[in-house]
Every structure is written in structure tokens, then in C-alpha cells.
Amino acid sequence: MDNTTPDGERLRLMAVHAHPDDESSKGAATMARYVREGVDVLVVTCTGGELGDILNPAMDRADVRADLTGVRRQELVQAINILGVRQVDLGFVDSGLPEAPEGEPLPPLPQGCFALQDLEVVGRALVEIVRRERPHVILTYDETGGYPHPDHIMCHTVSVDAFEAAGDPDRYPDAGAPWTPLKLYYTHGWHKEKVVTMHAALTERGLESPYTEWLDRWEDKPEDADRITTRVHCAEHYPLRDQALIAHATQVDPQGRWFMVPVEMQQECWPTEDYELARSLVESTLPEDDLFAGIRANDRASS
């Protein structure tokens, strides 16, 4: 497969994520595949995950709690090395996930956190990276953030803003020479079709499904029915994805429910990671099986 543009440039992918560990749980096998095919892949991490909970009981220790920011940074470096991608920090502070007893208002977000930043501030920071790195494709979350964490929603907002602004010389004029990315995708890791398929495969084999309660409370939304446009085959890289996830030891319990499903079954039942093409400046035929469809030199030559 040709991994260059018609101008002979190496293909470049930028994935924008809210926290350390998000790069390993959302599109990690896709990134691992593209890196090994010769694509330049960069992860932008918006925050340091300073306010994340310790979700692995084995890591809930005094020394870890005393330097959670440093520990999460070390975990990110390990995961990035496993996937083989490059990584940069956007440089903002985690907003935390506000919680309150039922019927009570949520507490305010911490002053100065990522989710409360002015869009012009975070937009300029990301545009500067986009213009420096010149990605052809940007990958991020949809408008829901994947789940309603304020940092994930801000990650979506700033990624869309940067996609539109990076090529406009009138936007952020001091943030580098304009660069126009060609495609913007949203990740859709756990949509209903996938969850139903995996649940059925487990129950048919007489195995316990970690998805039962999730499906019982699933709210169908008609607007979500046809969002998947692009399915990237990357099953052979699921073991690397799992290794990268486990590297985030404070966030991921290797004995937890996400590792209940044998990787061989995942590869057989759902061999793709799935995306929504949200913006495109090139022509490609939907559905796609490649984030660079319409960008590769051979695609342009045949159109």
C-alpha cells in the first residue's frame, strides 16, 4: 500500500486525546497498524490526567497518590513506546469528573482547568501543533466526548476548531504557517452494533458477558444509527493495544472486565476499529476501510 501523498509526502495522522490512557483505549490498534505500515502517527495529550481516580486496586498506594501526575506521565511514555507513536502535550490541567449525590448540583470545576479555558487559548495551542506537524488526518471524539467528561467535550471542541482554523491565515496568525488538514474523524469505540455482537458471541459460547448491564440500560438514539462511515481492520494489533492499556496501571486493572473477553474472540468477532468521517476536503467512497482514503497517491491517481 502506498503511504505517500501525490506530492510524495509521508502520510501523517494526529490523534487528539484528553488524558493519558485515552490514546490506548480509543483507536490504539489503528495507530499501531498505521505506524507499522510507515505512517507518521502523533498523539496530542491535552492534560496530564492529574485528577484521575486510581482505578486499579493494586496501584492504590500512598507513593502513587503522592505523585499521581508523575506516575501517569511514566505510564504514558510506556504506552507510547509500545504503540510506536510519537506524543506531545498540549499542556493543560485535568478538569476532573465532577460528581454529586443524586438531586444535588455538581461541584464547580477547578479554576484554570482545561474545560474552563477560553477556546482561543486552547485553540491557539493546538493550531500551533497542527501547523508544525502538518497532519493529513486528525482523529478525536464526537460532540459527546464519547462520555460526558468535561475534558473530552473540550477535546472535541478544540479539535474541530483547530481543523477549521489551521489553514486560515487570519486565525491565530502568530501560531505558524497555515496548514490545511484534509480529513477529521471521530472515534466510535463502543457503539451498539459492536456491543451486541460481542455479547452474543460470548453468550453463545456459554461465557460470562461484561456487557449485560450496559445493554440493559442502553438508550437508543436514532441519530446514532448511521454514524459509522469507516472501519479500519487492525485485529492483529489488538495484543499491542492491550499491552498499551495495561501500561496505564493506575487506570487499568488487568483483572478487570475489559480483559474478560479473549483477544482471539475479539479478533474474530470484531476485527475493526470504527470511525465517523466528520469533515473531508477530499473525495472518498463511503463506507471506507482506511482513514487515508482519497489522500494516498494511488487513490488520487485513480480518481
The pairing of beta strand 40-47 with beta strand 272-280? unpaired
Please give the Cα distance from 214 to 227 (Å, whole number): 20
- What's the mean per-residue pLDDT of the chain? 94
C-beta separation of 232 from 33 below 8 A: yes
What integer is the mean pLDDT of 20-37? 97
What is the band of 300 on the pLDDT scale with cuts at 50, 70, 90?
low
Alpha helices by DSSP H, listed for the chain, are: 22-25, 28-37, 62-66, 68-83, 119-133, 150-165, 192-204, 212-216, 238-247, 263-269, 297-302
**Residue range 42-98, pLDDT digits in tens:** 999 999 999 988 999 999 999 999 999 999 999 999 999 999 999 999 999 999 998
Give the cell for residue 5. 501523498
Torsion sign (Cα): 4, 5, 10, 15: negative
Which residue segments constitute the domains of the chain, with CATH numbers given?
12-190+228-302 (3.40.50.10320), 192-226 (no CATH)
Cα 195 versus chain centre, distance: 18
Residue with grid cell 475493526, as numbered in its chain: 272
Beta bridge partners of 183: 137, 280
What is the enclosing helix (H) or strand (E) of 5? Answer: none
- Higher local confidence (pLDDT), 299 or 168: 168
Nearest to 122 by CA among 87, 153, 86: 153
C-beta separation of 117 from 90 below 8 A: no
Burial label for 45, CB within 10 Å (0-12, 13-18, 19+), is buried
What is the band of 199 on the pLDDT scale with cuts at 50, 70, 90?
very high
Beta strand extents in the chain (DSSP E only): 12-17, 40-47, 86-92, 137-140, 183-187, 230-233, 272-280
Distances (CA, A) of 255 to 56, 200, 246, 260, 261: 9, 22, 10, 8, 11
Please give the Cα distance from 169 to 224 (Å, whole number): 35
**Residue range 86-140, pLDDT digits in tens:** 999 999 999 999 887 888 888 899 999 999 999 999 999 999 999 999 999 999 9
Please give the Cα distance from 107 to 51 (Å, whole number): 14
C-beta separation of 184 from 160 below 8 A: yes
The pLDDT, as a whole number, for residue 27 is: 98
